[in-house]
Structures are given as C-alpha cells and as structure tokens.
Amino acid sequence: MGIVQRKEREKEEMRRLILDAALRLFREHGYDGVSIRNIAEAIEYSPGTIYLYYKDKSEIFFALQFEAAALKRDHLLPVANIENPWERLIEFGRRYIDFGMKHPDLYDLLFITRSPMEYIENQECWNLGLATHSFFVETVQACVDQRYFKSTDTDTIAYTLWCHAHGLVSLFIRERMRMYPEEKRQELAQKSFAMIVKMAESI
Amino acid sequence: MGIVQRKEREKEEMRRLILDAALRLFREHGYDGVSIRNIAEAIEYSPGTIYLYYKDKSEIFFALQFEAAALKRDHLLPVANIENPWERLIEFGRRYIDFGMKHPDLYDLLFITRSPMEYIENQECWNLGLATHSFFVETVQACVDQRYFKSTDTDTIAYTLWCHAHGLVSLFIRERMRMYPEEKRQELAQKSFAMIVKMAESI
DNA sequence: CAAATTTGATGAACACTGTTCATTAATTCC
DNA sequence: GGAATTAATGAACAGTGTTCATCAAATTTG
C-alpha cells in the first residue's frame, strides 16, 4: 500500500516544482510581474493545475515567505552558540545584514513587500519571525543585564539597532543609493555597521 | 486670442483632476490595486481619455512621485534657516521622520515602492531628492567642520543616520512592528530618535 | 454666417491577468 | 475487466493596460 505514500511524495514534488519556478520568476519580475500562466508555462503544466496545489496566487507567495523566514532563521541560528552576549549581538547584526544583501528577494518578501499580506495574516511565518525577533531582544537584554550599555531601555536599544540594520538593507536593495557609485555602496554599508557598533558602545 | 490659454488651463485642470483621483485611489488600494478604468470612473471620463493626458499608468505614478518629492522638500525647507548645524541636523531628522509618519503613502512612493521606476528614470524627481540629500550631507559636513563629532567621515555619519531614520519610518509604515502594541510603536519611535541623537553625540 | 479643419472624448477591440469548472484522461480499487 | 477515484486540461468569465477608428464639438477659415 505504498501508493498513498507515493502520491503524497508526488504532490510534494509538484509543490516544490511550483515554488522553485515561482521564486525564480518573482526574483526576476516581481510578484505582480509574474502571472499564474507564466509559472504554469515554466513547469510545463496548464494554468488550472497550479490551483490543484495552491488555492491562489497569494498562497504561493505565503509559502515562499515562510521558506524565506526559515532560511533567515537558519542563517542566524549559529549566532546562538556565541556565549558572550555583546559578541552575539554584533554577529547577529552582521548576519542579519548579510542575509539581506545575499538574498534581497527573500528579504524583500519578509520585510518590504506589501503584495497580499496586508489583511490576511501569514500566521506561521509571522510566528517564525517573532521567534527570531525575540531572540534578538533577549540578546540585547543579556547585554543590558551585563552592563554593556549605560541605558537599560532594552526595547528602545533593540529597536534602534533594528531600524539601522533594516534601513541599511532596504535602502540598498530598493536602489535608493544611486547617488553613490556602485563600489562605494558596499563600503559605506560596512563602515556604517562598524559605526553603529561603536555608537552602541556608548548608549 | 485667449483660447489657447484657456485650453492650456483646461488641460492643466484635467491633469490635476486625474492626479488627485489617482493619489486618492493609490492611497486606498495601492498602485497595482488601481486600474486606469477605476481612475476614469472616479473622474467620470472614459478610460481612453486618461491617455490624452498621460502616456501610460506609470507616468501618472511619476507625476505623483515628483509632487511627493516637492512636498518633502517643502516639509524640510524651514530647517535651512537654523544657523547652528547640530540643531539643524536634529531638526532635519525630526522632520524627515515626521514627513514619513504623516504621509506614509508619499514616503512609500519616494523610498519604498518599486512599481515602475525600476528601469525608467524619473529624472526630475531624482534631482529633487538629490538636492535634499545634498543639503543633508552638507549639514553633517558642517557639524564635522565644527567638531560636533569625533569622527570626520562625513559620508558614513550621514549614511548611518539616514539608515536609522529610513528604517524607522519604513518598518513603521510597512507594518513590521506588529509585535508591539499600537500605542507603544509611536513611543518607541520617539525614544529611538532621542537615542540615536544621543548616540550621534559620541561618534 | 457657413464650410472646413482641428481637437477632445469615446468605447470597442487586443492581448493580457487570476480564477473556476465541465470535460477528459489516467490511475487505483474491487 | 469494470467501476470509482484522481489528476490535468483548457475554455470561459470578468478583470487589466493600452490603442485606435469613429464621432461630435469647438475653432479657424473663407
């Protein structure tokens, strides 16, 4: 009776096929620049078939968003092994920015795109992001506890650092740094990270 | 021979009519959520008429983006009267964030939305933004000249402050602060601004 | 003033979009 | 092998941006 297992596997493969094609196309042309017919054509199936695996276009987007959140968590996970909270915090920041730079499309999906996620909640994805955010705030809290900062306002410190990192990544990937030559942008980003770390030392 | 003037005026009125309707609709439903037919219906004209005044949908977007840039400049303009560069810088930051909070749709248009502006350049709008950005960097330079900072790396200082402000505004208006209760968000934003100012004092 | 010309607005048409669903083909079960 | 279930199809519907021949009104010309 391996049939039901095989069917399950085939269904999973098909969903994988759709997701991979969709991510590639979203990457290249953006959410609105890609049609269900485009995805169907890419995987050599008819448009209607897509709807046997995802109830609509936004559900494909949600699935990708969830994967992005998981990938981001995995990208940040190694940080948890760093004992010293101050070093952990710095490495968290470095890796957060690194993730955004390396996977602009995924970062976009998670923190910038408005597409569908406006009204419907992508609950499981949100929970994943929440966990990562909690870990971040806890790290800041540990720094506060060990007197790495003069201030004891954990939330504001965490939020301020997050603003900087998010601003840095999103200005970068949404092309709002065109006043600086290509090669200067990366350099500025690195120097700015170093600067915010220095600044953080004196909060 | 006032006919040509009247026609010119009528043409301008029609463009105004279209832009006002478009901005209202974009505000409510986003760029992609609004069709040319929606705009046409709102101003009680046929879809084809729109194309007599704007060559395509993206040109309407560009026109709005330009107006947003002008509005932002006007919002920041009073700052130029502040003699002391440090106070000028702080007030610039406050007003920048204030603009983003008060006009999320316009801020979005200028710094987040990707819609068309990807490949085609909105040159005049870009120039306006560039001028504002130059003014900002010059203010930082003035602070550097007068030894308000230990660091002399004007570009990195300016960029770091911009990252924070942009991150703050864009996290806010793209609803990525839902882990904090409604009333806490505004408070966090204010505290964070105060904190970055304090931090800046010790760069 | 009437005729000719220019202008402004129209809405049908084209190729596209997301989505649904009756029909068909393949597979599984008995 | 025949019945029942499942998977895939592609036509159809209502929407999209955009174009364009057509028509009516306004303007210019004779």
Place of tokens 């996970």: A77
User: Are B31 and B71 in a shared domain?
Assistant: no
Domain containing A45 equals: 1-54
CA of A52 to C1' of C21 (A): 12
Which CATH number characterizes residue B74's domain? 1.10.357.10
Q: Does B200 touch chain A (CB under 8 A)?
A: yes
Which burial class, exposed, middle or buried, applies to A112 when counting CB atoms under 10 A from its CB (0-12, 13-18, 19+)?
A: buried
In chain A, which among 135-174 make CB contacts under 8 A with chain B?
A: 151, 153, 155-157, 159-160, 162-168, 170-171, 174
User: Are A46 and A113 in a shared domain?
Assistant: no
B192 closest CB neighbour out of A163, A179, A196:
A163
User: Are A89 and A178 in a shared domain?
Assistant: yes
Cβ–Cβ < 8 Å for A98, A38: no
User: Are A96 and A33 in a shared domain?
Assistant: no
A199 closest CB neighbour out of B126, B159, B199:
B199
Task: Name the residue closest to D18, CA to C1'.
Answer: B56
Decide if B180 is inside a domain. yes
Decide if B39 is inside a domain. yes
Name the DSSP letter for residue A51: T
Tell me what pLDDT residue B28 has.
76
Distance CA B188, CA B168 (A): 10
CB-based contact A195 B164, cutoff 8 Å: no
Tell me what pLDDT residue B179 has.
85
Which tokens hold the place of A126?
Answer: 């949100």
Name the DSSP letter for residue B109: H
Tell me what pLDDT residue A168 has.
96
Express each pLDDT in A87-108 by its tens digit. 999 999 999 999 999 888 788 8
Q: Which amino acid, residue B71? A: L
Which tokens hold the place of A123?
Answer: 């609950």
**CB-strand contact A5/C, under 7 Å:** no
- Residue in chain B lying closest to A111 (CA): B176
Confidence of residue B109 (pLDDT cuts 50, 70, 90): confident
Mean pLDDT of the region B139-155: 95
Tell me what pLDDT residue B119 has.
44
Tell me what pLDDT residue B118 has.
47
- Residue in chain A lying closest to B118 (CA): A175
Decide if B143 is inside a domain. yes
Tell me what pLDDT residue B126 has.
77
Tell me what pLDDT residue A1 has.
54
User: Are B36 and B129 in a shared domain?
Assistant: no
- pLDDT at residue B120 tops 80: no
User: Are B120 and B144 in a shared domain?
Assistant: yes
CB-based contact B171 A168, cutoff 8 Å: no
User: Are B72 and B16 in a shared domain?
Assistant: no
User: Are B45 and B80 in a shared domain?
Assistant: no
Which tokens hold the place of B189?
Answer: 């934003």
Which residues numbered 140-159 in chain A sit less than 7 A from strand C, measured from CB?
Answer: none
Number of folded domains that form chain B: 2
* Long-range contact set of residues A54-59: C-beta below 8 Å, sequence gap at least 24: A54/A15, A54/A18, A57/A116, A58/A115, A58/A116, A58/A117, A58/A120
Decide if B71 is inside a domain. yes
Decide if B59 is inside a domain. no
User: Are A30 and A76 in a shared domain?
Assistant: no
Tell me what pLDDT residue A179 has.
85
Which tokens hold the place of B123?
Answer: 């040159």
B47: left (phi over 0), alpha (psi -120 to 50) or beta: alpha
User: Are B91 and B71 in a shared domain?
Assistant: yes
User: Are A45 and A29 in a shared domain?
Assistant: yes
Identify the domain boundary among A54, A70, A96. Answer: A54
- pLDDT at residue B130 tops 90: no
- Residue in chain A lying closest to B112 (CA): A174
B174 closest CB neighbour out of A112, A133, A203:
A112
Which tokens hold the place of A127?
Answer: 């929970």
CB-based contact B203 A198, cutoff 8 Å: yes
Which CATH number characterizes residue B15's domain? 1.10.10.60
If one compares B100 and B123, the residue with the highest pLDDT of the two is B100
Tell me what pLDDT residue B115 has.
46
Confidence of residue B156 (pLDDT cuts 50, 70, 90): very high
CB-based contact B198 A203, cutoff 8 Å: yes
Cβ–Cβ < 8 Å for A156, B191: yes
Tell me what pLDDT residue B152 has.
95
List the one residue out of B110, B159, B181 whose CA is nearest residue A167. B159
Distance CA B141, CA A194 (A): 20
Q: Mean pLDDT score of chain B, rounded to an integer?
A: 89
Mean pLDDT of the region B136-161: 96
In angstroms, what CA-CA distances link A160 with A109, A189, A194, A200? 22, 17, 15, 10
Which residues on A lie below 8 Å from B112 (Cβ)? 112, 170, 174
What Rg, from alpha-carbon coordinates, does chain A have?
A: 20
Low-confidence residues of chain A, pLDDT below 70? 1, 114-122
Identify the domain boundary among A14, A37, A54. Answer: A54
If one compares A65 and B32, the residue with the highest pLDDT of the two is A65
Q: Does B130 touch chain A (CB under 8 A)?
A: yes
Q: Which nucleotides of C are covered by protein (CB under 7 A)?
A: 7-13, 16-22, 27-29
User: Are A13 and A69 in a shared domain?
Assistant: no
B164 closest CB neighbour out of A32, A167, A176:
A167
Identify the domain boundary among B54, B72, B88. Answer: B54
